[in-house]
Amino acid sequence: MRRLYVVLTGLMMLSIFAQFYFAAVGAFAKPQDDSSFAVHDVNGMMILPLLSIAATLVALMARAPGRQVGLTIAPLGLVLVQVLIVELGRALNGADDATTPLSLAILGLHAVNGLAIMAVAGLTMRGARALLRPTGDNPATAAHATSPSAGTSA
């Protein structure tokens, strides 16, 4: 189960890297229209959330620590924030649907939140890989095992 968890977190990272690539493809497309971002939209609204949910379920089955499970589902929540950023930015557009300075300031947060998604996924993958290490090599369990309250005596 833990190996599957590592694979799913790796696929989640790959999906996030692809998101940045697909966003750039859409931004540089000529002529640019809503279909320019179609692959970016599908990956961000379907693939990434499904990977986050699947990895979270596997993390639970692999008995990952609660913090790790929380990190694994966090990209799903951050994707929802992405949608809210876009909707709020569009709502602040001018009467002719032209962007305003305020809508641009809000929409710019979409990229910043994308970086947060990547950072969380990186931490998730790091934690998933740590679960594969033998217990003595796992920093989370090694610190607990050597603590004075762990029941060891001289």
Nearest by Cα to 114 from 31, 15, 11: 15
Q: What pLDDT sits at residue 106?
A: 97
| Residue pLDDT tens, the chain, 154 long | 999 999 999 999 999 999 999 999 999 999 988 799 999 999 999 999 999 999 999 999 999 999 999 999 999 999 999 999 999 999 999 989 899 999 999 999 999 999 999 999 999 999 999 999 877 555 554 444 444 444 444 4
Phi, psi of 88 (to 5 degrees): -65, -45
Token code pair at residue 75: 């990209």
Nearest by Cα to 150 from 71, 142, 101: 142
Structure pTM?
Answer: 0.83
User: Position 142: which residue type?
Assistant: A
Q: What's the CA gap between 100 and 18, in Å, rounded?
A: 29
- CB-based contact 6:133 (threshold 8 Å): no
